[in-house]
Amino acid sequence: MEERTDVDDSRGAGADARHRPRVHRATVIGAGLIGTSIALALRARDVDVTLSDPDAASLRLACDLGAGRPLDESDARPADVAVIAAPPAVIPASCATPRTGGWRTCTPTPRA
């Protein structure tokens, strides 16, 4: 069996991870179970994660667990990745709010 050299299995990165852009900053909107889990996985890969949630207790718990830090609205640096982990009904409002730290537009991906 031929050994594959294009896969970094040590981090679960998948095929040809060397050609993927490195994510340095991420913003996660929604600090519930899914958002916090995604943020924890990003933090495990040394990504700077900012979190936003309308529920202060959820946000505080996610930060206490080490999932990231609260989003500072005065920080204008854009995130490399923005994750919206919120109920579908609140996604349009999440996209329209400038609190996403420099993320100015929201373009949904069309379904095939």
Q: How far is CA 32 from CA 14, 41, 89, in A?
A: 27, 14, 15
pTM of the model: 0.69
DSSP 99: G
- Find the angle CA(10)-CA(16)-CA(18) to the nearest 5 degrees: 80
Average pLDDT, the chain: 78
**What order do you get walking across the sheet with 48-52 strand by strand?**
69-70, 48-52, 25-29, 81-84
Per the model's pLDDT, the better-predicted residue between 72 and 16 turns out to be 72
Q: Quote the percentage of the chain above a pLDDT of 90.
A: 47
41-52 pLDDT per residue, tens: 999 999 999 999
- Find the angle CA(55)-CA(57)-CA(89) to the nearest 5 degrees: 25
Residue-range domains of the chain with CATH = 23-99 (3.40.50.720)
